[in-house]
Structure 1
Amino acid sequence: MRVLVTGASGFIGSWVARELAERGCEVRALVRPTSRLDNLRGLAVERAEGDVLDAASVARALRGCEGVVHTAGVVAWSPGKAGRMHAVNGRGVEVVLGAALEAGVERAVLTSSVSVTGGAPEPRVADEATPSNAAQLGIDYFTSKLHGEEAARVLASRGLPVRIVRPAVVLGPGDLYRSSAGLVLGLARRRYPVYVEGGSSFCDVRDVARGHVDALLRGRPGEVYVLGGHNLATSDLMARVSQLAGVAPPPRIPYAAALAAATGAEWLAAVRGKEPRLTAQLVRASHLYTWVSSAKAQAELGYAIRPFEDSLRDTLRWFIAQGQLRPETAELRALAA
């Protein structure tokens, strides 16, 4: 089976391409002319230049494909990047999966996010049936992914055999653009002076890639599958990363103080004409609990979750090997060795 993978040069997409190739599929990677192709080196994939917002290039890339895995997406917390994020995460789904419906593909997978469910101020564990409050939270990343899912459901009602997967916070090697795994790098480099309490589910990109391919090959059309991992409070994450990296964890501060600091940071960045490193939307999202259950994916897809420390170690090792993290502590030198 020939499968088109969008976002194939990125974190999740490159591992999906690798997993597909290892299972004997022919892989065509949709990449932009400006995409970094480091993650595709050594992979037997065909490259097709295009953009998920360019319907003509997507239609060309889909020719001869029986399947498509749409992983391309944007994660951003800065107000200045919200427009592009909504376009890619919402309109991009309409373009890619709409073209897939027109092309008559036999199988399709959309990479969504557990953020579609929203979050809660207190610990809770959500699953595919949990009602979403994402629209009420007013966080652009959450609503952009929600709009993407809504577009996919409309196309499913028109006959597209699409499965939707919702990864949690993805760690592991290969985060070329420092998206979700960049959190671990930032902690190891002492780039976060403070944090607010909340909770997230942390999964491994290699497990998530297998979940995508199993959804494509074994999942039921029209179904949603949560690809979660280890549900941790932020304080627990800070402690575990800090211990492995041999650095002191940042102090926890009250939510109100963090929100005030973010508001000030946004104002100062606007005055200077720069992107803020701390934003109100990031603080609001970090303060939520987005814990999930992957029981459905485990039962129907055979989804497996590796030990959290294995993912952390491999994340740190990859950043060290890439020259993005200097092994300045005994713990990091031991990982590098």
Structure 2
Amino acid sequence: MKRILVTGASGFIGSFIVEEALRRGFETWAAVRKSSSRKYLADSRIHFIELNLDDPDNLERQLSGHNFNYIVHAAGATKCLHADDFFRINTRGTENLARAAAAVCGNLERFVFISSLSVCGPVREKRPYTEITDADTPCPDTAYGQSKLAAEHALDAIPNLPFIVLRPTGVYGPREKDYFMMAQSISRHVDFAAGLKPQDLTFIFVKDVVQAVFLALDHGTVGRRYFISDGNVYSSRAFSDLIHDELGRPWLLRVKAPLWLLRTITACGEVAGRLTGRMTALNNDKYKIMRQRNWRCDITPAETELGFKPRYNLIDGVKETIRWYKDNGWL
């Protein structure tokens, strides 16, 4: 029986990875914090381990003796009050885990790092938009994207680490909370759109991210980065229109805000977050993400090298997501 460690196991993507690992018969270890909810980790077969990613020496002791065959590093921060926290969690936390694993996990076959399309930043922004590829030089303009890119570079510097990087575009699905805010807003009769210029968006359903993770455990080239999406490109209204349909098409006020107004709103949100000590979805990083117009990406390497075949398009994924939100009392 292969032994797998999943970090961020209590989170949105991580909890689905744990479920798939159990389904495949792995001895499955979930890395969680003491404060983490275990709502989606109720299966009695799950082994739990607490890891302090801020302490590299202690990490080696915590990992010693487990000799994991696979590590999937899905832990990370998408929202932080201070930019330094992104680098502490996403960059140094990743490097500390990877170095400790390389030092004490003698049977380690793959270290799969969940990065993000955001590492590329606003490249290929001139119309007509074309797909971002791994040949493009990343130029992230968000603290989140910069911290994930720095983590990728840190993995490059670790000798004999059999790592593969996955760069998913916008991930949605059951249990996800950020896209849920859009569904909740539409259920309350307001749809908010960012910017006046056309925007090309890409998405990937969480179960297709999980598919790519397990393909990466056995396929692909060590050291490679793979973009993953559902292979389609959508207009800025496609996601909200599908949510609107699944909610029974309630009456709707559509608000399309120019970027200068969004900049003002997110700047206020950033200040408010720091004053109150509470993270908010309206922040400087969020503005830069909404400002970016081109989110196309080339998934051909993932298809040819990993054997990745997206199973969900946006129609099917949104249908399953909204059904889960309803069944679980979120909507």
Q: Tell me the TM-score range normalised by the shorter chain.
A: 0.7 to 0.9
Q: Quick one: structure 1 residues 43 and 10, their matched pair in 2 at CA, closer, same or farther if it must change by over 3 Å?
A: farther
| Residue of structure 1 equivalent to 2:320 | 314
Gaps of 5+ in 1: 326-337
Is contact 2:91-2:151 (8 Å) kept?
yes
Q: Which moved more, 1:298-307 or 1:60-69?
A: 60-69
| Residue of structure 1 equivalent to 2:21 | 20
Determine helix, strand or coil for the equivalent of 2:305: helix
Q: Are 1:49 and 2:33 counterparts?
A: no
Q: Percent identity?
A: 26
1:107-134: CA deviation from partner (whole Å, max 9, x where unpaired): 2111111111112444331122222121
Instruction: Give the structure-2-normalised TM-score.
Output: 0.87
1:119 counterpart (107, 118, 122): 122
Q: Quick one: structure 1 residues 280 and 190, their matched pair in 2 at CA, closer, same or farther if it must change by over 3 Å?
A: farther
Q: Quick one: structure 1 residues 124 and 252, their matched pair in 2 at CA, closer, same or farther if it must change by over 3 Å?
A: farther
AA partner of residue 78 (structure 2):
V
Is contact 1:93-1:148 (8 Å) kept?
yes
- Pairwise CA RMSD of aligned residues? 2.3
1:133 counterpart (133, 139, 153): 139
**1:273-284 aligned within 5 A:** 275-284=279-288
Q: Quick one: structure 1 residues 270 and 132, their matched pair in 2 at CA, closer, same or farther if it must change by over 3 Å?
A: closer
**1:1-337 aligned within 5 A:** 1-42=2-43, 44-55=45-56, 56-57=58-59, 59-61=61-63, 63-76=66-79, 80-103=81-104, 104=106, 105-120=108-123, 121-122=125-126, 123-134=129-140, 137=141, 139-155=142-158, 158-175=159-176, 178-179=177-178, 181-190=179-188, 194-197=192-195, 198-229=199-230, 230-245=232-247, 246-247=249-250, 248=252, 250-267=254-271, 275-288=279-292, 289-305=294-310, 306-325=312-331
1:70-97: CA deviation from partner (whole Å, max 9, x where unpaired): 1111101x6x243322211101111111
Determine helix, strand or coil for the equivalent of 2:282: coil
1:257-291: CA deviation from partner (whole Å, max 9, x where unpaired): 22123224444555666555522331221121222
Q: 2:275, 2:50 → 1: CA distance?
A: 37
Q: Quick one: structure 1 residues 268 and 8, their matched pair in 2 at CA, closer, same or farther if it must change by over 3 Å?
A: closer
More helix by share: 1
Is contact 1:50-1:58 (8 Å) kept?
no
Determine helix, strand or coil for the equivalent of 1:233: coil
Determine helix, strand or coil for the equivalent of 1:125: coil
Deviation at 1:243, TM superposition (A): 2.6
Q: Quick one: structure 1 residues 219 and 23, their matched pair in 2 at CA, closer, same or farther if it must change by over 3 Å?
A: farther
AA partner of residue 173 (structure 2):
G
Deviation at 1:195, TM superposition (A): 2.3
Is contact 1:171-1:203 (8 Å) kept?
yes
Q: 1:182, 1:130 → 2: CA distance?
A: 32
Q: Quick one: structure 1 residues 147 and 273, their matched pair in 2 at CA, closer, same or farther if it must change by over 3 Å?
A: closer
Is contact 2:60-2:103 (8 Å) kept?
no
Determine helix, strand or coil for the equivalent of 1:8: coil
Is contact 1:52-1:72 (8 Å) kept?
no
Q: 2:305, 2:93 → 1: CA distance?
A: 28
Q: 1:267, 1:286 → 2: CA distance?
A: 19
Matched positions, count: 315
Is contact 1:71-1:110 (8 Å) kept?
yes
Gaps of 5+ in 2: none
Is contact 1:163-1:223 (8 Å) kept?
yes
Q: 1:162, 1:271 → 2: CA distance?
A: 40
